[in-house]
Amino acid sequence: MIQADLSDKVTVVTGASAGMGKAIARRFAECGSRVVLTGRRMDRLESLAEEIGQAGGTALAVQCDVTDWSQVKSLVERALEQYGQIDVMVNNAGFGHLKPFADTSVDEIDSQIDVNFKGLCYGCKAVLDHMVGRRTGHIINIGSVGSVRHYPSFAVYVGAKHAVLGFSRSLYEEVREQGVRVNVLCPA
């Protein structure tokens, strides 16, 4: 496996308390990046920060609900206060309800769109001025195979993940000349 040297970088990972976000945060830390772990479950974030620290890495746990603009803005401010820069923003927080759309409640529609799409937009907005000001930065938005394919009983999730792909491609066109890269990963 190729080992990138990210020892002079700072990476923010949303949804880092479990699953893919936790794995992404570990990998960036293994490559030397100082990692800002964020999610709603502080106990899990603190446990991961301790694990990363014991392995020789550096991690800061910050509780944040990505659906709340003020919390996302505060997260970025906290990361900048602690480390002075943000080089990589991984917008990973996401989830889906497996059920037919006819059985999906309005609250379930709102929560999937809020986390999977609006939260990702908030993360991008919160770091963009900093990255454009430095003329460098990398935004990694986590989509899904649902960003490019359709699946029954996942209509809202797939719709939100399609939005992630379109938004990310458009944002890239806006900021690429200013030194900021925007990529979408679409895991299955």
**Active site residues per annotation:** 157
Question: Could you give phi then psi for residue 101, rounded to 5 degrees?
Answer: -60, -40
Q: Which residues pair with 60 in a beta bridge?
A: 36
As given in the structure block, the two tokens for residue 6 are 């990210």
Contacts of 14 (CB under 8 A, 6+ apart): 21, 38, 39, 64, 66, 90, 91, 92, 93, 119, 123
**Helix 119-134 and helix 155-175, axial crossing angle in degrees, nearest 10:** 10
Give the whole-angstrom CA distance, residue 131 versus residue 175: 10
Q: Of 89, 99, 87, 92, nearest to 133 (Cα)?
A: 87
The H-assigned helical ranges of the chain are 19-30, 42-54, 69-83, 106-113, 119-134, 155-175
Give the whole-angstrom CA distance, residue 89 versus residue 48: 18
Q: Note whether 127 and 76 are within 8 A (CB).
A: yes
